[in-house]
Chains A and B, each alone.
Chain A
């Protein structure tokens, strides 16, 4: 997917417009905290026209004060709307570019009599068969029935290198909107209009299908509860003040100002922006999450199931050691081995040359161009060179070599068998090396763990996530790789049912399980897992079953998704804490100010030495508004997440957002008060 700039001019100007559109009360009511602010705005607006609307004999100057409160309240609401709009803005821009790929597509649909008719792509139904020629855009999601061709999927993945798609196997699914570059494909459509991957992606990035996640709802409930408490606190203040001082009381605009300062507007304004930005982060990571719930669940994962091959290991067996047999030295073995692999283009062959070079043995290909390269065949199970001088060098499966040597009257060294067994036991693959019919030794081929995996698993352990490796290998091999990669557990000789069983048992223990997969036989497990990450290269059954699709088809991405899920929750928690902690300072600003006429003694509580009651109240209110846009970048980027123990992370975040949240407004309110005083507005 095209990476868009975080804040470009176009997105910002549209967001500003949207901030006003969102003032519509029917939209606002979905956010109870900010809705209260909007109601406050309406009331103070009325009080600006008639300061005595609710009784009292306020002088005309009260109007100016009410007006300022009104403006600040409006700005507060607008800031909140702006935060949401800007979070949505990026998605909207992406959706538009995706929509462009979708429009005006035509398809060649096979008719009942075997002919083809050209129809608009939007009329295609599940089960239709279409023909796509090179250079055409694939009209709908489907499975390749016939043909093999390279497909440019950059419209979806942003990756410009074409991928191969063909009938049968795990590479048969194609996505509507991608372009066929070569050959011709017959595709069976697998979705009805409006349900395609592209449609889902568009609605996802636009936030149209964004449902509140369970944690978000729970937090909204708590915030609404706090708002109610503060509503009670502020509503009862007027009677209290009236009791203390029968004639004078607190004016309504000030009470509304206090209410708005106390209710958690900071988190209320940023809550939906945090959610949208979190999903957006996942998308920009080239992972399509089908729901926000899936992303949150990722943050809660207890167990992570990963396939060995291609996920934990590179997937190719590479040479790691040369083991001479009989009377041969390692040096002579290496020479023969490298020679046998000189023109071998397989990863194994190249790794032999590579390892030889590392050990100081290198041959130039040019010197052997007259040699005859014998490629590996399933028949002989060996490969090598027939040199110009008549010498024969081969490497191959040990039993095949053994048979070859015997046939040619050679002898098998005694230590070949035990050394072969040792390699097999350790989980490696032995290759025997011969020159003519003399066995020189063994090449130790090993499944190599991807670099950095060990560290990543250590990180996961720190997050409290258990990793389980699934492999078809025998238990010995599996144990070796598991040990090397540092996974917590492994399942050897695993069948798809084993994965399913593992997921079930873990879930019965109350754990949340994540897994990645791409094959059709992974589909049930992907559906059963709490987080199922399907590879984009996988079958459509797998993609349908998982609740996330990785466009880059990198199974280790689960680790990043876990971090994003956690970050999402942390950001919400941190800003909530900050928001509530802010109230302490606001009380010290507003309470002495609002009681100035009623209980002058309370000026002792004016520990910030704010210039005047009006300035104190406005400073707190302005601070309350300004903090929203200041925190938009944090809401969008998310609080930094580093794997560490839960307790130390709690203390760290409490210190930054809790203690910081208590201190920051003291400084901010005082600073605003100084500015208001300097502008001569302290006594409006």
Chain B
């Protein structure tokens, strides 16, 4: 670890903060229907879309109507891309003549992209036609991120409502978000990326003759457009198998910095949007401070652990220095560590290094961030998880100050606790049970690239990534088998929708409650004291749930490495 390296990390995060504040304000204005300077461009386009979809933008939806629309749209999109993946071998824009996908891989991929996970059991350049990349992958990278975002906004409206059932209008929310935020931002970013060297073409792979006379197939395609929304939409599903470690996705240190900022932009800005909605800047500052502190702590653990290297190599082979296996020299250790930490904190899932090759401690951080799934978290989904844990924290701390717990003036009662507990249960259930099934079945074990503890980490990482809708892979696990395609597919779908449904039910119930005015007996949720309790609850509940699994995985492996033993 160096001072310069540490500064690199902190400066990037400072830039993110500086951009995040105004973007948070802009997101608030978009979500509350305020006019923009470019109203003349946006509004007619939106009106056209409302007419095309056939919706009345002035209709107010209660939680059930909103949820129904959201789930229906997601279902239709998933079926559509499933069909695209099954048929794309026979469809146009397939210059490299790639085949269609098998049913299980198509299911996994459709589930993966519709849930904003972007887990890839396929290698983009070898299995995805340009049509698939554009109308399935890139399309869902817009809509899935937007789905999470509007879900969070609708939930927040439930907090503000005073005995009013309306959570807004799903169609208006999702169309405005695309027109005013995602498309313009992605457009600008994509053009910038093209300028920085990313390819954007519909031509097939280039066959090159190397100096040694060999033939090399250089894959390319509409990369920049996908890359932009891949990062901005906290998607993470790369054009190429190597994701952002591939020089065409992320050619330089500058592009990697931009990509880090892009993937953090909306999740972090959303905290400020939330603060605006609640008319409580202090709350936003408090939440942001604790969450960014967790990010920084995590990133520095990765950085420290990778910089320390592997004592066994030192001992046996005399190799000293940092652990550079699986890392790109053009990014260096600090930016790689930052990418590792943030891609899982924001549950983007893009990778610019092979997580499988991290030291056990370095690999622990991304798993832990995904297990929490709320260190800013994915676009919208992260905020929903933060709110879910806020409800649990407020409940416990409300009891401790002797009042029926209330959050933002809304009483938390049996119904909310039931639903929040359900949402809280999904995550451990999926991760632990699916991992247990995988490590006890032959087919589960057969896919592991490594044995023993590291193999366990690969499987644990995969299901955690799926349940958290992250999509980053530890690599080293061959996921393209019917078993993993189906299990991770279900993992992603349940991880996403069960908690969204439960949270919507909470929003519906909260919306109808009266807002209780604050008094000096009210527990303030915007203080650092409360923030401390919030983080303590998150960390302790998370640790108690996942500690045994982590002991069998990265913690056990780290202890093994320290004690100088090689894997059996």
Contact = CB atoms under 8 A, between A and B. Distances in A.
B429 A577 contact: no
B400 A650 contact: yes
B544 A653 contact: no
Contacts of B523: 646-647, 650
A605 B556 CA distance: 10
Contacts of A464: 519-522
Contacts of A296: 404
Contacts of B428: 229, 232-233
Interface string A548-587: 0000000000000000011111101110110011011001
Interface stretch (A61-69, A594-602, A628-636): A594-602
A218 B530 contact: no
Interface string A187-224: 00000000000000000000000000011011101101
A511 interface: yes
A595 B551 contact: yes
A222 B395 contact: yes
Contacts of A574: 399-400
A566 B563 CA distance: 52
B401 A646 contact: yes
A569 B540 contact: no
A379 interface: no
A219 B445 CA distance: 40
A510 interface: yes
A224 B418 CA distance: 10
Interface in B522-568: 522-524, 527, 529-530, 533, 536, 540-541, 543-545, 547-549, 551-552, 556, 559-560, 562-563, 565
A646 B544 contact: no
B519 A599 contact: no
Given A239-B439, A653-B400, A221 B544 contact: no
Given A591-B551, A604-B563, A650-B530, A573 B516 contact: no
B356 to A, nearest CB: 18
B400 A654 contact: yes
A453 B2 CA distance: 64
Nearest to A604: B559
Interface stretch (A240-248, A438-446, A538-546): A240-248
Contact of A219 (B399, B401, B544, B552): B399
A180 to B, nearest CB: 43
B421 A225 contact: yes
B418 A221 contact: yes
A269 to B, nearest CB: 17
Interface in A221-277: 221-222, 224-225, 228-230, 232-233, 235-237, 239-244, 262
B409 interface: yes
Contacts of A461: 520
A576 B432 contact: no
Interface in A655-675: 657-658
Contact of A232 (B432, B517, B565): B432
Nearest to A583: B544
A277 B545 CA distance: 32
A421 interface: no
A570 B399 contact: yes
B552 A241 contact: yes
A206 to B, nearest CB: 26
B397 interface: yes
B404 A650 contact: no
A590 B543 CA distance: 15
A570 B396 CA distance: 9
A421 to B, nearest CB: 40
Contact of B533 (A225, A565, A601, A654): A654
Contacts of A228: 425
Contact of B404 (A235, A511, A569, A645): A569
A463 to B, nearest CB: 5
B529 A233 contact: no
A509 interface: yes
Nearest to B445: A243
Contacts of A653: 400-401
Given A236-B436, A243-B439, A300 B395 contact: no
B540 A580 contact: yes
A242 B438 CA distance: 12
Interface string B435-463: 11101100001000000110010000000
A587 B555 CA distance: 14
B402 A244 contact: no
A204 B513 CA distance: 31
B424 interface: yes
A58 interface: no
B542 to A, nearest CB: 11
A637 interface: no
B403 A566 contact: yes
A422 interface: no
A649 interface: yes
Contacts of A605: 551, 559
B403 A658 contact: no
A219 B395 CA distance: 8
A116 interface: no
A240 B436 contact: yes
B71 interface: no
Contact of B402 (A229, A242, A602, A649): A649
Contact of B399 (A225, A576, A604): A576
A510 B519 contact: no
A218 B533 CA distance: 20
A647 B563 CA distance: 45
Nearest to B430: A232
B278 interface: no
Contacts of B520: 461-464, 645-646
B524 to A, nearest CB: 6
Contacts of A240: 435-436, 439, 456, 548-549, 552
Given A221-B417, A573-B400, A584-B543, A239 B440 contact: yes
A602 B530 CA distance: 35
Contact of A570 (B402, B433, B445): B402
A241 B549 CA distance: 10
A566 B405 CA distance: 11
A356 interface: no
Nearest to B520: A464
B409 A510 contact: yes
B414 interface: yes
Contacts of A572: 399
A218 B397 CA distance: 14
A219 B543 CA distance: 21
A510 B552 contact: no
B515 interface: yes
A388 interface: no
Contacts of A601: 556, 559-560, 563, 565
A471 interface: no
B399 A215 contact: yes
Given A222-B392, A573-B399, A591-B547, A214 B563 contact: no
B134 interface: no
B535 to A, nearest CB: 12
B60 interface: no
B328 to A, nearest CB: 32
Which 7 pairs from chain A and chain B are nearest by CB?
Answer: A464-B521, A573-B399, A566-B402, A225-B421, A510-B514, A464-B519, A573-B400
18 contacts: A214-B404, A221-B421, A229-B545, A239-B436, A239-B437, A242-B439, A243-B439, A262-B544, A462-B520, A510-B409, A511-B516, A572-B399, A577-B396, A577-B400, A583-B544, A601-B556, A604-B562, A654-B536
Given A218-B418, A302-B517, A569-B399, 15 more contacts: A229-B425, A233-B432, A236-B549, A239-B436, A302-B516, A461-B520, A464-B520, A465-B519, A567-B402, A570-B399, A646-B403, A646-B520, A649-B402, A650-B397, A657-B400
